[in-house]
Amino acid sequence: MIGVLMFAAALVLLLFGFPVAFTFGGVALIFGVFSEGMDMFAFMPFRIMSIMQNTVMMAIPLFIFMGLVLQKTRLAEQLLESMGTLFGRVRGGIAISTILVGALLAASTGVVGASVVAMGLISLPVMLKYKYDKRLACGTICASGTLGQIIPPSIILIILGDVMGIPVGDLFQAAVGPGFILIAVYIIYILVYTWLNPDAAPAMPVDDSIDRKALYFKAIKAIVPPLALILVVLGSIFAGIATPTESAALGGVGAVFLALFYGQFSFKMVYDSGIETVKVTAMVFAILLGATAFSMAFSYTGGEEVVEEVLLSLPGEKWGFLFLSMLVILVLGFFIDFVEISFIIVPILVPIAEILGINMTWFAILIAMNLQTSFLTPPFGFSLFYLKGVAPEGVSTMDIYKGVMPFIVLQVLVLMLLLFFPEFMGFES
Amino acid sequence: MSSTSAPLLMRLENGLNWISDRLGSISALIFLLLLINVFYDVFARYLLNDVSIGLQEMEWHLFAAMFLLGVPFTLRVDGHVRVDLIYERLSPNGRAWIDLAGTLIFLLPFCLLVAWFGLDFAKEAYELGEGSGDPGGLSNRWIIKAAIPVSFGFMAVSGMGLLLNSVNTLLGYHKPIYHKTEL
Amino acid sequence: LSVLAAPAMAAEKVYKLKMAEGWPTNFPIFGDSPRNMAKMAEEMSNGRLKITIDSANKHKAPLAIFDMVKGGQYDMGHTASYYWKGKDPNTLFFTTMPFGMTAPEQYAWFYFGGGMELMEKVYKRHRMLSFPGGNTGVQMGGWFRKEINSVDDLKGLKMRIPGFAGEVLAELGAKPTNIATGELYTSLERNTIDALEWVGPSLDLRMGFHKIAPYYYTGWHEPATELQFLINERSWKKLPKDLQEILRVAMRTAAYDMYIQSTHASGENWATMTQEYPNIQVKRFPTEVIEAMRTANDKLLKEKAEANPVAKEIIESQAQYLKQVRAWTNIADKQYLDSIAGE
Ligand code: NA
Ligand code: NA
């Protein structure tokens, strides 16, 4: 019961606008101490330590740094502009480029915070510069940033594999199809939307005085270096040179070398990027620190048992179970980090799913897609927080909220497709 | 921006801000070390076929120190995300009241309590002489464990800065720290 | 009347203990042991002893159970002693040692050869008690992407192998490497590392390593991994004598149950693996390699004994006991298996 009250209190108190991280911490403190006494907070150092030792999360600052260097040296801008040019008269070219770059980044990291923040730094300013609709821009970034959830390698799939006892390789394989479908659906949406609303995403101005060939040549020249960098990051993983986490450092160092190559290097630029990296990383991790306090208070005051009771009272047939479990995950995803959900909720679901004879790999992909959606749902999707943290002045919270709405609808549609037509995605239901 | 009428509170706020800003610089330097550290480890493993568990462990030490010291700094520059649907429409004084109350009710008790338990946590590691259990790992685990109480202690310091910022706003000395506006 | 009623009332008091386990929720075998134990203790005590178990998913600190039990945040823990070697080097010896005893030999050492007394001596300092918590049996030497034919093949071998066994291999020029559990599969698949050790078929099957590494080497470094029940001394002393005894019996039974369950699961999973992947090649390290490992192992043990008198005492106790009991194992179990093996 206290767990439920905590959720309600957090919901109201967050709206006052005090920083999210400390509101989470404060609510945890009030409810935790009230119900269990001060001593419960003796667990906090242990929980913080487990975040400190989570080396997979190291990818977050490293990718943020790469994004910042690419941004400060305007290399990212050139990349996206040139890709936009290549799309010629097609409207929404930069948005489509953002999706594609986001997908590439997703294939190199599995940490959503890292890719949303990096894409926010790299492409939001460019889209705003070319007079894109703010909402479309924000939605595109959040959606393409969360692709890292589903496109392998992905942390969530690794965790789910562990929790559900499925080989990670199988999950990675199974996620490729749904990942590609999402990318395609996003791109189709942008094409249709910009066709209906031409002002939302103007095509790149084409300079007719320049010969087409020269134009393409110029564009390719600008695209190659930063794209090569991303391919180096990806390639280093596939060649076994680096783990996905380490590849992020190769990207950061590579970006500095690119800057050197283009004569944009200065120690001040590197230091400033360092400071910005600290700011954005601290923003992300402060939320994780607050959230771990929140979920600690939630589970030690019996919240876990309440959820378990609800889940165990689910109807004993496949569709009711699938529907309700998806709903519960979606709702909890508003507040609780996906790692905590996988740890707390999924173990309760697994035995029931097994009894109902549900294909576990399929179930895991459904959960991963669902968690990906919960990253995007206002008011408390983590991706929204992350983008807000790096958005330039003039982009309001409301812009982000409204911007992600259509993408949430698209994700739910793909989730439904996966739910009702598993054969279509290569699963036996 | 009057500096004569309330020099004490303003000077105090500026003093706390100075501390938080230094944490930001330290944190940025630690991050650059982390970048070099990880890059070197990949380089050494792949090209020199050499692996050092100590250097591998140094990665998470630097990573942890970096974000832990970064949190108080980010608080001082108002980099922590707010759900600002209501907040951004409030008057400067309205915002100051929320920051004042939030700091007193949420931030300070939370940070001080975690810092307090963090002290015990680090002390235990120090008394045991705890180190890594892996071959060639780092010793003196208490140092990185002490980063927890240090970080949360400094969060409280930055929180005091935010508190003073709110008080000074309410007293009319300056505008509040929050400055994101609609275009 | 009141004189008679008082002890009867006292006897009805329910004692509640909170236990932290080092494994995630629903973790097979390892997680069954503490649950069996708690169930037996509750039933044997007629409900007077209730033990609740928090998995690592809840407390988030599998590698700090030592601290949490010592600090009293939990009354008990289910984990393994060698995880604490960074906190107290003498805790290393109560799980398993390279070239050490097999499970029955080691249980004999614990309960009849002075092992329990030595363990008590080590944990007393930390105001905790430790009991055997279940055995995995012989652990496999690991999954390798390349064959090991000589000591030279170990030079520069990047292998995920933590703890003391890693130190032994490092002596021979191998490169023990830290990789996050979640990145292990990918790292092995893409040759970021050359080899890794996990447990044995009982738990390796679900990790899927057999799909990406052809050689499965037999064990040498963890012949009898014994888990551990840790108890905070104050929580233990609060229990009346009869409940202490019930707890003791429940732990000992659960530990043995886990040993046979591991044997069962390994047999079952090994059959599955070989059925699905008939190409897995089971390999034995060549004698030359084993001897080099043994020499390195002895050298490191000697260093540990010289550095710490309690370590010396434990190492000597284990060595002496092994010498005696192994002579018997060799003419009993080993001869039996060899003589009936045929071709
Ligand atoms: Na990914
Ligand atoms: Na092992």
Q: Which of residues 34-63 of B touch C (CB under 8 A)?
A: 45, 49-51, 53, 56-57
Lowest mean pLDDT among A24-28, A80-84, A176-180, A262-266: A80-84
**Where residue C308 falls among pLDDT bands split at 50, 70, 90?**
very high
**Where residue B7 falls among pLDDT bands split at 50, 70, 90?**
low
C214 token code pair: 């052809």
pLDDT at C200: 77
Which residue in A47, A162, A170 is closest to C60 by CB distance? A47
Q: Examine the pLDDT at C188 and tell me if it is beyond 50.
A: yes
Query: Does the residue B178 lie in any domain?
Result: no
Average pLDDT over residues A361-377: 87
**Where residue A428 falls among pLDDT bands split at 50, 70, 90?**
low
pTM of the model: 0.86
A156-183 pLDDT per residue, tens? 887 787 778 777 677 878 888 888 899 9
Query: Does the residue B11 lie in any domain?
Result: yes
Query: Does the residue B78 lie in any domain?
Result: yes
Q: Give B28-33's long-range contacts (Cβ < 8 A, gap of 24+).
A: B28/A271, B28/A274, B28/A275, B28/A277, B28/A278, B29/A274, B30/B62, B30/B65, B30/B66, B30/B69, B31/A61, B31/A65, B31/A274, B31/A277, B31/A278, B31/A281, B31/B62, B31/B66, B32/A270, B32/A271, B32/A274, B33/B62
Give the Å distances, CA to CA, from A302 to A298, A308, B5, B96, C266. 7, 10, 52, 36, 36
Q: Which residue of A has its CA nearest to C184?
A: A243
pLDDT at A109: 63
For residue A75, give the nearest of A212, A272, A261, A216 by alpha carbon. Answer: A261
- Collect all residues with Cβ–Cβ distance below 8 Å to C181 and sequence separation of at least 6: A162
Query: Does the residue B182 lie in any domain?
Result: no
Q: Examine the pLDDT at B156 and tell me if it is beyond 70.
A: yes
Q: Examine the pLDDT at C5 and tell me if it is beyond 50.
A: no
**Where residue B180 falls among pLDDT bands split at 50, 70, 90?**
very low
Q: Which of residues 72-101 of B touch C (CB under 8 A)?
A: none
Query: Does the residue B179 lie in any domain?
Result: no
Tell me if C150 sits within 8 A of C289, measured CB to CB.
Answer: yes
Ligand 1 centroid to Cα of residue C214, in Å, is: 27
Residue B53: its chain C contacts at CB < 8 A?
A: 166, 176-178
Across the interface, whether the CB atoms of A18 and B68 are under 8 A apart is answered: no
**Highest-confidence segment of A10-24, A147-161, C230-244:** C230-244
ipTM of the complex model = 0.87
Query: Does the residue B127 lie in any domain?
Result: yes
pLDDT at A207: 63
CB hemisphere CA count around C71 (13 angstroms): 22
| Chain mean pLDDT for chain A | 82
Q: Examine the pLDDT at C58 and tell me if it is beyond 90.
A: no
Q: What percent of chain A is predicted at pLDDT more than 90? A: 16
Across the interface, whether the CB atoms of B124 and C70 are under 8 A apart is answered: yes
**How many Å lie between the alpha carbon of B141 and the closest alpha carbon of chain C?**
9
Closest ligand to C-alpha of residue A63 is 1
Query: Does the residue B183 lie in any domain?
Result: no
Burial of C125: CB neighbours in 10 Å, binned 0-12, 13-18, 19+: exposed
pLDDT at A110: 61
Query: Does the residue B52 lie in any domain?
Result: yes
Residue B147: its chain A contacts at CB < 8 A?
A: 52
Across the interface, whether the CB atoms of B42 and A398 are under 8 A apart is answered: no
Number of structural domains (chain B) is 1
Tell me if A248 sits within 8 A of A66, measured CB to CB.
Answer: yes
Lowest mean pLDDT among A16-30, A204-218, C257-271: A204-218
C116-160 pLDDT per residue, tens? 999 999 999 999 999 999 999 999 999 999 999 999 999 989 999
